[in-house]
Structure 1
Amino acid sequence: MGHMQHMDGGWITPVLSYVMAVVGAALGLRCTVRALAARGRAKRNWLLTASAAIGAGIWTMHFVAMLGFTVDGTAIRYDIPLTLLSLAVAIVVVGAGVFIAGYGGSRVRSVLLGGLGTGLGVAAMHYIGMAAVELNGSLAYDPRLVAASVVIAVVAASAALWAALAVRGPVIAAGAALVMGLAVSSMHYTGMAAVSVSVRTSTAPLAGASAPAFILPLAVVLGSFLFLTCAFVALSPTARERAESEAAARPLHEVELPAT
């Protein structure tokens, strides 16, 4: 059995990964709320942005947390195609959940199906990401903790979607994002607690890329995307604000300038 560290860099990796999960959740939920007030192409674009935000947020959370994952007696590398697949799965499966929530007829069905889809997306992303881990040895999983991690992911996603669909206001939205971020992090560390490693001594070089060479740059790019999109969404007017500003501007065009 290899001794594992999940927080090798101290508290920086869990805290930073939690922040990334919260930013992705906040942006995704905000876009979902915007989508409900929109129609046609605008609605679809808001839902696509929400999917990308939540998917990128949970992926970045997972791999930033993985920067603190070390095992005594072996280096750790990441299989590049599987790592990228985990990102694609996160966005596509979360997207399915978000679109069900956005286009669903009843709120209950939207939350149940959307939460199930989104939660399974989080879990699938996590375990595909774990399959991308290359080390001298083998990983084994405790099935009870794996099941618990999937349940946490589904319940959390459902709760966050319910909050996004049922309530309005920045305080509630911030609270939902904090809860969803906490849930995604809890799911991650529950999933990591399920892992045990049997290390084999080997001098053979490992396939794949090291975390600093591959995971870190990709996480920085996705993190930048999330923060920039957050700023854009925060600054772009809502449908109601746009209608109000148009109504306010209309009389100005109709006022006749006094003759000089």
Structure 2
Amino acid sequence: MEGTVDGFRYGAVTPVAAYLMACLGGALGLRCIVRTLLSTQSWKAGWLALGAAAIGCGIWTMHFIAMIGFQVVETRIRYDVGLTVLSLAVAIVVVGIGVFIVGYRGASPLNLSFAGVVTGLGVAAMHYLGMAAMHLNGTVRYDTTVVALSVLIAIVAATAALWAAVTIRGFLTSLGASLVMGVAVSGMHYTGMAAVSVHVHGRVGGTWAGDTPTSLLLPMLIGPVIFLVLAGVVVMFDPLLVLGDGDWNRKTEPAPAVPAQPDSVFESRSITARAPQDPHWVARQSPQR
């Protein structure tokens, strides 16, 4: 028989919490990437890696917080530990590929398109790996058209995020971009969940191996959340990001050189005597009668 699928078991709590985690990961990732643009002397690879890990953890955390609110009324759901951890690794790695492409090769249309496609496909792969980690007394089916739409949303969202990462530098604009990223990532997730239907089996089979959402997902979410908090501390206390683009440039750019002025008439004559014997130069230095 067909199972009753409910993605909002706890009402608005899980969608809102998931959205906030996606925004947090996006905001931290954007600020880390901006850090490499504000100063060419910074450890670029390290900041890009931190940004990729923040975005990847934010997306993964968003997904599994939302999955806590997912249920099939007629059967319990358990999760495979290996696939759940693999989905986290995939999220970080594919976001890292896209971030490093635009971070080192620039945001040309070709680079941005390629990085956006790779990252979007990786985000979609993370989502459906997480779905494959589910074990229940039934068969999960997907609507192909809705799945394709979710993948397209993931690619567009990833491309927009990478564009924002190398284009937007101000704090408030980065915050606005992270809010949009949160909407896009959440939209991709719930579009993918709308493609799900479950055919429940008549008896309990061998699909019960794994852990329940509360025994697996909640403890596993602690690690990425702690990482995002630590990354937030690093970003908040980095002097370059605290000062901002304009203040940092004013403090670090050398003052323009001012030509030395002669202190006396004798020094002025000495400078004139040492000047190149250019008749035009001499003419320009001669007093007007």
Post-superposition CA distance 1:174-216 (Å, at most 9, x none) = 1110111110000000000001100113345710111111111
Question: Separation in 1 of the partners of 2:102 and 2:201?
Answer: 46
Q: Tell which deviates more after alignment, 234-243 or 179-188.
A: 234-243
What 5-or-longer segments of structure 1 have no aligned partner?
249-260
Question: Separation in 2 of the partners of 1:57 and 1:167?
Answer: 20
Q: How does 1:9-158 map to 2 (within 5 A)?
A: 9-39=10-40, 42-158=43-159
Q: Which amino acid aligns with 1:58?
A: I
Match of 1:208 in 2: 210
1:227 pairs with 2:219: no
After TM superposition, give the deviation of residue 117 of structure 1 in Å.
2.0
After TM superposition, give the deviation of residue 35 of structure 1 in Å.
2.1
Question: Separation in 2 of the partners of 1:59 and 1:52?
Answer: 10
Instruction: Name the TM-score, length of structure 1 as normaliser.
Output: 0.89
Q: Please give the secondary structure, in 2, of the residue aligned with 1:63.
A: helix
Alpha carbons 1:23, 1:227 under 8 Å: kept: no
Instruction: Name the TM-score, length of structure 2 as normaliser.
Output: 0.80
Q: Which amino acid aligns with 1:211?
A: P
Alpha carbons 2:26, 2:55 under 8 Å: kept: yes
Q: Which amino acid aligns with 1:23?
A: L
- Kindly tell me the number of residue pairs found equivalent between the two proteins: 248
Residues 27, 131 of structure 1: alpha-carbon distance in 2 compared, 3 angstrom cutoff:
same
Q: Which amino acid aligns with 1:69?
A: F
Question: Separation in 1 of the partners of 2:85 and 2:25?
Answer: 18
Post-superposition CA distance 1:70-114 (Å, at most 9, x none) = 001111000100011100111111110111110114532332222
Residues 244, 217 of structure 1: alpha-carbon distance in 2 compared, 3 angstrom cutoff:
farther
Question: Separation in 1 of the partners of 2:177 and 2:65?
Answer: 22
Alpha carbons 1:101, 1:114 under 8 Å: kept: yes
Question: Separation in 1 of the partners of 2:248 and 2:165?
Answer: 21
Q: Please give the secondary structure, in 2, of the residue aligned with 1:134.
A: strand
What 5-or-longer segments of structure 2 have no aligned partner?
255-289
Question: Separation in 1 of the partners of 2:236 and 2:115?
Answer: 24
Question: Separation in 2 of the partners of 1:106 and 1:55?
Answer: 20
Q: Which amino acid aligns with 2:203?
A: S
Q: Percent identity?
A: 52
Match of 2:166 in 1: 165
Q: Tell which deviates more after alignment, 161-170 or 171-180.
A: 161-170
Q: Which amino acid aligns with 2:53?
A: A
Question: Separation in 1 of the partners of 2:67 and 2:252?
Answer: 49
Q: Could you list the runs of 4 or more consecutive aligned residues of structure 1 that deviate by over 4 angstroms after TM superposition?
A: 38-41, 239-248
Q: Tell which deviates more after alignment, 236-245 or 174-183.
A: 236-245
Alpha carbons 2:63, 2:127 under 8 Å: kept: yes
After TM superposition, give the deviation of residue 224 of structure 1 in Å.
2.0
Of 218, 232, 236, 2:238 maps to: 236
Q: Which amino acid aligns with 1:103?
A: Y
Residues 246, 173 of structure 1: alpha-carbon distance in 2 compared, 3 angstrom cutoff:
closer
> Which has the greater radius of gyration?
2
Question: Separation in 1 of the partners of 2:204 and 2:107?
Answer: 58
Residues 174, 41 of structure 1: alpha-carbon distance in 2 compared, 3 angstrom cutoff:
closer
